[in-house]
Amino acid sequence: MKYKLLITFFTIFALIALSGVASLSYNMPNASPSASSSTFSATIHEPSDVYENQTFQLNVTESPGYHNYSVSAYLGAVNDTGLSPLSYYNHHSTNGTFSISVTAPSESENIHGYINASAVNNSTGFRVSRVYSISSINVSAPITFNSTINNTDPVPIKNITVTYTISHGASSVVIGVSHINEIGANSTYKDNITVPAALVYKGKDTLTVTTNNPVITIAGKSTVTFYYGHKPNYDWIYYIAAVAVAFAVFLVLASSKRNTVKVPKWKRSKSSKKAQKVQKVQKAK
């Protein structure tokens, strides 16, 4: 997989070099290509987090004042299974806007890559280009949240927005918004969203589901608490407590033995003989 990334990176630089040579040889009499390229740029919009096998968009917007816009993209990952496309080229935009549909890998990964945006300057006729790196798009496992939406009105309700918010301690974030065109009169609607696991806090979380219409309600509880990740195991505390109690009992027993005064053997035999004499005297009486 690493070799694919290296080949991809070398390919893009080769294409840029060839593009620059072609532009220079065709437009040499007119103007300097470096002067025209200094004002050309592109804006790349990419998500920071996606889930496995999710289809998302890479949006590219190039500078106005040019024509014959084109864009090429080269994507890769350490494990690129399911990642598509690995390369993309489009030169049919008249306004410099492009939307590249990408499917994330089927494993938790990081997507890296490059985007080469280019266009021909209207004034000079030179084709100029800019290369932008996609530093990292984090791919994590998918998590799905479900809710049931009620419309208790006798008429249909249209244009409903359902918002899902996760709270963790003092922090909260909107993790997803779904749009429902219509819910019929006196009916329910099963709604769900799928989000990357990276957006959900580890530990105890609270999910709140709300709508933009007070007539539309959430069946059951609109706020639920759940635990995400592995719950901590506190069994070791009981083990330590048991060991501590056993050790304390041992110390008490050991201390009581040390405090017991032992009678010397000679004294014990002397006392025994004295007791025997006392018994004989008592019998004689």
pLDDT in tens, the chain (285 residues): 544 544 554 554 454 444 443 333 333 333 333 334 568 999 999 999 999 999 999 999 999 989 999 999 999 999 999 999 999 998 788 899 999 999 999 999 999 999 999 999 988 888 999 999 998 899 999 999 999 999 999 999 999 999 999 999 888 999 999 999 999 999 999 999 999 999 998 889 999 999 999 999 999 889 999 888 766 555 555 556 566 666 566 666 667 665 555 555 555 555 555 555 555 555 555
Residue 277 CB burial class (10 angstroms; 0-12, 13-18, ≥19): exposed
Please state the separation of Cα 3 from the chain's center in Å.
27
- Which pLDDT score, from 0 to 100, does residue 280 have? 55
Q: Please tell me if the domain spanning 2-139 has the same topology as the one spanning 142-228.
A: yes
Q: State whether CATH 2.60.40.10 applies to domain 142-228.
A: yes
- Residue linked to tokens 């630089």: 13
- Which pLDDT score, from 0 to 100, does residue 233 have? 58
**Among candidate residues 69, 107, 104, 108, the one with its CA nearest the CA of residue 86:** 104
| CB-based contacts of 239-246 (< 8 A; 24+ apart in sequence) | none
Fold of 2-139: Immunoglobulin-like (2.60.40)
What are the residue boundaries of the structural domains of the chain, listed by start? 2-139, 142-228
Given a contact cutoff of 8 angstroms between Cβ atoms, the answer to whether 42 and 62 are in contact is yes
The answer to pTM > 0.75 is no
- Which pLDDT score, from 0 to 100, does residue 236 have? 53
